[in-house]
Structure 1
Amino acid sequence: MKVFIVLAAATALASAQFKCPVKDGQYEDDRQCDKFYECVDGAATMKLCPDGLVFDPTIRKINKCDQPFNVDCGDRTELQPPKPNHQCPRRNGFFAHPDAAVCNVFFNCIEGEATEVKCTAGLHFDEYSGTCVWPDAAGRQGMQRTRKEDQGWIRVP
């Protein structure tokens, strides 16, 4: 109960410090990339994107939270604490396989539920673009193709 009261007080303080522009809408926080303010009639309500997503003020839709590789956060480098589970470092996003030697498999996490995805033969998962790309573009060092096509790539010591 005490944690809830402290969290509610911190949220109210943050919202009170943000000054809404004249126009209603959603506005980015100046330090935290996944935090934003919803302004209605001059009153700000602080909100957070779902864990793993960040706020993009350029999106014209109501939901302005997107994957980090699609958003330029600039100097807004802070993020909410992660809420990981065994395969998802954050509840939402695309994440490399936990075994660094596995380059062609990644996890798509949606609300903490992981789906394993395998790249098309010959491609590696690239965390910076959230897609499968040619090995040179992924920049995974020390990988070598195995003899069996279905095994993909392995890390060579």
Structure 2
Amino acid sequence: VVVEEVRCLPTCPAKGLTSFCYDRTCTKYVLCFDGTPVLRQCSDGLQYNAQTDRCDYPQYVDCVDNLCVRQNNPAAIVYIASKSLCDKYFVCVDGLPQVRNCTRGLQYNAATTSCDFASKVNCTVETLQRNILPYAKAPPRSAGIVCPAEGTHFYAHKNRQDSYYYC
């Protein structure tokens, strides 16, 4: 008999369209539609970005879930530097990442696995400025389509294969 690990999908809000990270993975997410959770997978090479609620390039996503591996040695603590902020890092405890922030003015030093003065840290994080808002915070825009007065409908985007309209 083969026993598979089964994870239940979380509950979703009763109304609306939302999404969030799926437990312990960088590439899967749960899309919630009017209370129904649907497990989705990002396309190859993309990771789910919880800041923008969409799949994105890895350099824009601070996901370390795939890097935190459960070990038999509890004394072997794994530290992982953030890809997005010099003062942020992760501590893997029992295979689970826990986010940590350095005290104001200090940065995470991967060489010493501790917070340190910026002059002693070789942080090469680039500030990646993009104008992408999470779906929940983005203002509604006219799409040039007519939505039916009742019901919920999805329509393919006219120019982009990775997008759709939600009515």
TM-score (norm 2): 0.33
**By percentage of residues, which structure has more helix?**
1
TM-score of the superposed pair, with normalisation by structure 1 = 0.35
